[in-house]
Structure 1
Amino acid sequence: MRSSDLHQRPTRGTRRVLLALLTAGVLVSALPAGAEPARQETPSPALLRSLASAMSAPEAVGDTFDAQVWLLDMQSRLARRQPRAFASRDARLDLLARIHAEAARAGLPPELVLALIDVESRFQPGAVSSAGAQGLMQVMPFWKAEIGRPQDDLHDTATNLRYGCTILAHYLAREHGDWTRALARYNGSLGLTVYPEQVMTAWFSRWWVER
């Protein structure tokens, strides 16, 4: 599935069809017989340059007026997920404002970033995976060394979102708008479809916004 298709914002009926197809694995290519998922790739120079530039840029600032309705809507949805680290309404609004701003800076749909966080960490800033990925968007620590920023704290919300959104946006550009392959690269599972399906299902079922 390509980003241009998703930005057309399908109707409710079409969304149900897309969700059913994603669940059935129809919209994404299956892993060829005998193939293995991709191992950790060597970071490309282009991605490292993008990441280094992004991390040295000022904090993203969203347009709170345009985003106000979105923030209130997503705040109530996030509350239903009962995130312990964002138990208060103010904490949820602050998180959502940061997500909206960072997604806009990277050219990503903020609802998709929410879906990715939902799948990756269940909105736990202190989450650490068995592979060592950290924070809301489960960023691997090796990225800090690659761009010469060992001081960065990947459990810090703003830092984690900046890393995660920049990396995902780069993979989307590399895959020419193909969300399935971009999400698989983000997860380190290129060739498999389970992870992209999980993120898309979370997007369509919990975070979708009709426009």
Structure 2
Amino acid sequence: MTEDRRYDKEVEIATGRTAVPGRVAATVLLALACCTGLLGLFVVSGPGEAAMAPAATALLPLPEDDGDDDIDAAAEVSQPVVSETAAPAPVSAPAEKRVASSSVPREPAKVAKAPGDSVQAHLGIQALSPEMRRVRDHVARRYRVASAALTPLFLTLEQEARRRGLDPTLVVAVIAIESEFNPFAESPDGAQGLMQVVPKWHVQRIHARLKRKAPEDALFDPQLNVSVGIEVLAEAKQRYGSTEKALQAFAGALDDPEQRYARRVLAMKRSLEQIARRQG
């Protein structure tokens, strides 16, 4: 190098003119780096990836091929895509369980009973017999008495009559003749209630059932009255040996040779027996 050129080079270095191109290059590289970073952030954020120009993506570093692309792609295909907003489908029971549940027999429908038929009386009857239910319904219609109100009475009547060897329809016939099912009936002689029992003649029987001193109106209780009346009638039949004489003794008419009271009661009993046997 000649002295002149060496002098010119030293002047350029001294004046700093050679630094200008280096600064320009550094600025350009810094700008490219900033653009690359912004584009990278844009791509990572999601929506701008599809719209990115090929020229911009060319500036990004490509991932190294590690040989697992095919495995990752297969794994993505095998996983079902579930929408974040879609509701999950209901899980149905297994087929065998559904078949088993459909084959379980259903409980048969219960047949409705008349009011009071399922009442358990203290004497042990759970329901009236079909014959006595028909008689009860007939009495309810004829004497205009609620069927539900008659049920406890008929429960006691049927149990006590059968226990003492009497036909329940005979007792119903006596009540129909004596009081026409008026529990508060009272005769001029002081006979009270459904079976017209005279209190002064049966004080001990009443006390034995109440387990205390009986009030004057105790026999107006329908079940107590029927219980005492059935006992008196059963003892009369045992004593006299026939239903006709037992009925005449119950009415205090043993001296009636025509046995008119017994004939009335037995005629009513025959009518009630036909009703009890009636079907449908």
Change (3 A) 1:179 1:148: closer
Q: Does 1:198 align with 2:259?
A: no
Tell me the distance in 2 between the aligned counterparts of 1:164 and 1:90.
Answer: 22
| One-letter amino acid of the counterpart of residue 139, structure 1 | V
Change (3 A) 1:148 1:111: closer
| One-letter amino acid of the counterpart of residue 143, structure 1 | W
Percent identity of the aligned residues? 31
Q: Which residue of the partner structure matches residue 232 of structure 2? A: 167
Which of 58, 61, 71 is 2:124 aligned to? 61
Q: CA deviation at 1:204?
A: 1.1
Change (3 A) 1:61 1:129: farther
Tell me the distance in 2 between the aligned counterparts of 1:203 and 1:105.
Answer: 19
Q: Output one character per residue of 1:39-89: Cα deviation in whole Å (capped at 9) or x when no partner.
A: xxxxxxxxxxxxxxxxxxx9533352xx43123211221122224xxx322
- Choose between structure 1 and 2 for higher RCO, CA contacts under 8 A separated by at least 6 residues: 1
Query: SS state of the match for residue 250, structure 2?
Result: helix
Query: SS state of the match for residue 151, structure 1?
Result: coil
Change (3 A) 1:175 1:123: same
Q: Does 1:185 align with 2:249?
A: yes
Q: CA deviation at 1:194?
A: 1.1
Superposed structure 1 runs of 4+ greater than 4 Å apart: none
Q: Which residue of the partner structure matches residue 99 of structure 1? A: 157
Contact 2:240 2:246 in 1 (8 A): yes
Tell me the distance in 2 between the aligned counterparts of 1:93 and 1:169.
Answer: 22
Tell me the distance in 2 between the aligned counterparts of 1:59 and 1:138.
Answer: 24
Change (3 A) 1:79 1:142: same
| One-letter amino acid of the counterpart of residue 98, structure 1 | T
- Please list, as runs of the form range in 1=range in 2, the aligned pairs for 1:85-124 lying within 5 A after superposition: 87-124=145-182
Change (3 A) 1:201 1:168: same
Change (3 A) 1:63 1:174: farther
Contact 2:143 2:181 in 1 (8 A): no
Contact 1:114 1:207 in 2 (8 A): no
Q: Which residue of the partner structure matches residue 139 of structure 2? A: 78
Q: Point out where structure 2 has 5 or more consecutive residues left out of the alignment.
A: 1-120, 208-212
Instruction: Give the structure-1-normalised TM-score.
Output: 0.63
Contact 1:112 1:207 in 2 (8 A): no
Q: Point out where structure 1 has 5 or more consecutive residues left out of the alignment.
A: 1-57
Tell me the distance in 1 between the aligned counterparts of 2:205 and 2:159.
Answer: 23
Which of 179, 183, 188 is 1:130 aligned to? 188
Instruction: Give the structure-2-normalised TM-score.
Output: 0.49
Contact 1:121 1:136 in 2 (8 A): yes
Tell me the distance in 1 between the aligned counterparts of 2:230 and 2:205.
Answer: 16
| One-letter amino acid of the counterpart of residue 136, structure 1 | L
Cα root mean square deviation, aligned: 2.3
Q: Which residue of the partner structure matches residue 116 of structure 2? A: none
Tell me the distance in 2 between the aligned counterparts of 1:61 and 1:102.
Answer: 11
Tell me the distance in 1 between the aligned counterparts of 2:188 and 2:227.
Answer: 22
Change (3 A) 1:104 1:179: same
